[in-house]
Amino acid sequence: MKEKVLTLPTPFGAPLELYKNTWGNPNNEALALVSGLHGDHLQGIHLNLQLAQFLDSVVEGSHPDYTLKGQVISFPVVNLNAIQCGSRLAPADGMDMNLAFPGNPQGETTEALASAIITHTAECYWGLILQSAPPHYEDAPHIQTLQLDSSTKKLCRNLKLETVRQLKPSPAHKVTLAYQWQQHDILTAILSSGSPRTVNIQQCETLFQSIIHFMKAEGILKDRRKIKTNTTTKPHFYPPENDVSIFANTAGMFLKEVKVGTPIEKGQTIGEIRDLYSGKRLEEIIAPTEGFLLTLRQYPIVYEKEPLATLLTAKKSWRNILPWSK
Amino acid sequence: MQSQCIFATQTPVGPPVEIIRHSFSANAKKTGKRVSLVTGLHGDELEGLYICHRLMGILKEREAQNALQGEVHVYPAANPQALDSGTRLWPFFSVDINRTFGENNTHSLATDLSKALLADLKSNSDLVVDFHASNLQLMELPQIRIIKDFEKKLVPLAQLCNVDLIWVHPHADIFESTLGTNLNQAKIPTLVIEAGICLRINKTYCEQIILGILNLLEQTGTLQCTEPRTDIKNPKLLQPHQVAMVQSPNAGLFVKSVEIGQALQKGDKIGDLIDSSQKQKEIIAPCSGLLFTLREYPTTGQGAPLARIAIEETS
Cβ-defined contact of B276 to A9 (cutoff 8 Å) = yes
A168 contacts B104? CB cut-off 8 A: yes
The domain made up of A240-325 has a fold known as OB fold (Dihydrolipoamide Acetyltransferase, E2P) (2.40.50)
Query: Taking phi first (over 0 means left), then psi (-120 to 50 degrees means alpha), and beta for anything else, what does residue A146 get?
Result: alpha
pLDDT of the residue at B32: 86
Please tell me if residue B296 touches chain A, with a CB cutoff of 8 Å.
no
Domain count, chain B: 2
Any idea where the domains of chain A sit in the sequence? 2-237, 240-325
* Contact yes or no for B251 and A107 at CB 8 A: no
Which residues on chain B are in Cβ contact (under 8 Å) with A111? 303
Instruction: Name the E strands within chain B.
Output: 2-9, 17-25, 34-39, 71-75, 127-132, 138-147, 165-169, 190-196, 236-238, 243-247, 252-256, 263-264, 269-274, 280-284, 289-295, 299-300, 305-311
Is B9 close to A107, i.e. CB distance below 8 A?
no
Task: Measure CB to CB from residue B276 to each of A11, A93, A168 and give the nearest one.
Answer: A11
Whether residue B156 is found in the same domain as residue B254 = no
Nearest CB among A89, A108, A251 relative to B303 is that of A108
Among candidate residues B176, B204, B237, the one where a domain is terminated: B237
Whether A303 sits inside 8 A of B17 (CB atoms) is yes
Please give the Cα distance from B175 to B115 (Å, whole number). Answer: 16
Q: Are residues B183 and B290 in the same domain?
A: no
Provide the pLDDT for residue A326: 44
Angle between helices B47-64 and B203-219 (to 10 degrees): 40
Interchain pair A106, B303: CB under 8 A: yes
Do B178 and A173 touch, CB atoms closer than 8 A? no
Q: How far is A292 from chain B (nearest CA, A)?
A: 17
* pLDDT, averaged across chain A: 93
- Residues of A within 8 A of B89 (CB-CB) are 94
Q: Are B98 and B82 in contact (CB under 8 A)?
A: no
Among A99, A253, A304, the residue with its CB nearest the CB of B10 is A304
Which residue from B minimizes the CA distance to A169? B104
| Same domain assignment for residues B131 and B265 | no
CATH 3.40.630.10 is the classification of domain A2-237: yes
Residue of A nearest to B136 (CA): A93
d(CA B178, CA B175): 5
Residues of chain B under the 50 pLDDT cut: none
Alpha-carbon distance of B163 to B103, in angstroms, equals 32
**Closest CA of chain A from B242, distance in Å:** 19
Q: Distance, in angstroms, between A170 CA and closest chain B CA? A: 5
Q: What is the pLDDT of residues A217-257, one digit of tens each?
A: 999 999 988 776 666 678 999 999 999 999 999 999 999 99
pLDDT tens, residue by residue, A77-114: 999 999 989 999 988 878 899 999 999 999 999 999 99
Final residue belonging to a domain, choices B180, B213, B237:
B237
**Same domain? B153 vs B6:** yes
Label residue A324 exposed, middle or buried (CB < 10 Å: 0-12, 13-18, 19+). Answer: exposed
Closest Cα of chain A to B65: distance in Å?
A: 41
Please tell me whether residues B233 and B248 are part of one structural domain.
Answer: no
Q: Does the beta carbon of B108 lie under 8 angstroms from any beta carbon of chain A?
A: yes
Q: What is the tens place of the pLDDT at every residue in A124-172?
A: 999 999 999 999 999 999 999 999 999 999 999 999 999 999 998 888 8
How many residue pairs bridge chain A and chain B with CB atoms within 8 Å of each other?
Answer: 115
Contact (CB, 8 A) for B91 and B85: yes
In angstroms, the CA A206 to CA A212 distance is 10
CB contact B199 to A (< 8 Å): no
pLDDT of residue A92: 81
Question: What CATH number is associated with residue B301?
Answer: 2.40.50.100
- B195-234 pLDDT tens trace: 999 999 999 999 999 999 999 999 999 999 878 888 999 9
Do B261 and B204 reside in the same domain of the chain? no
Q: Which residue of A has its CA nearest to B105?
A: A170
Q: Are residues B223 and B298 in the same domain?
A: no
Whether residue B116 sits in one domain with residue B170: yes
- Give residue A5's pLDDT band: very low, low, confident or very high (50, 70, 90): very high
Percent of chain A with pLDDT over 70: 94
Co-location of B225 and B252 in the same domain = no
Task: Mutation target for B interface from A81, A115, A305, A312: give the one with most B CBs within 10 A.
Answer: A305
pLDDT at residue number B14: 81
Chain B residues 123-152 within an 8 A CB cutoff of chain A: 135
Share of chain A above pLDDT 90, in %: 84
Which residues in chain B have their CB less than 8 angstroms from residue A253's CB? 12
Note down the domain range covering B200.
2-237
What pLDDT sits at residue A325?
47
